[in-house]
Amino acid sequence: MDAQALIGTWKMISWTRRVVATGEVSDAMGADPVGYIAYQPDGRMMAFVANRQRPAGRREGYSDADKATLFDTMLAYTATYTLEGDRVVHHVDAAWDPAWQEDQIRPIRLEGDRLVIHNAPGKDLLSSQDVIFRLEFRKL
């Protein structure tokens, strides 16, 4: 992997999840997620993804149920990163979910102006199922 080619801001195109037990594939953050991942030359990165169908904002505040829905329909974290062959390791130091404050290992591939994070095993936060994620981004 060419470390220089990874540097920049990437816009999310899709994010799917495949359930390991059944093979079922679905969109992880809705059919048209909004998201960005940015890799900087200083070795830092940031990621943000949200479902476009999130509840509308409210000036008067949110109920606990609203807050849970907002939490469940986004993710964000910041980290340092290192490249290890065909993987990037995000060494997370702050995240929307403190459980993510550990190394996140991401198998990656560059295809022209596309960054594909593929075969990334994980635990679905809503269903607790073992899943394999595939994320695709386009370089801005």
Q: What is the pLDDT of residues 80-111, one digit of tens each?
A: 999 999 999 999 999 999 988 999 999 999 99
Note the pLDDT of residue 121.
81
Query: What does the mean pLDDT of the chain come to?
Result: 92
- 70-82 average pLDDT score: 95
Q: For the segment 3-16, what is each residue's pLDDT rounded down to a tens digit? A: 899 999 999 999 99
Banded pLDDT at 120 (limits 50, 70, 90): confident
Q: What is the pLDDT of residues 16-66, one digit of tens each?
A: 999 999 999 999 898 899 999 999 999 999 999 999 998 888 888 888 998
Cβ neighbour number for residue 20 with a 10 Å cutoff:
13
Average pLDDT over residues 111-138: 89
Those residues with Cβ within 8 angstroms of residue 49's Cβ, 6 or more apart along the chain or in another chain: 12, 15, 29, 33, 34, 35, 36, 74, 75, 76
**DSSP readout, the chain?**
--HHHH-EEEEEEEEEEEETTT--EEESS-SS-EEEEEE-TTSEEEEEEE-TTPPPP-TT---HHHHHHHHHTEEEEEEEEEEETTEEEEEEEEESSGGG-SEEEEEEEEETTEEEEEEEEEE-TTT--EEEEEEEEEE-
pLDDT at 128 over 80: yes
Q: Which of 4, 21, 36, 39 is nearest to 124 (CA)?
A: 21
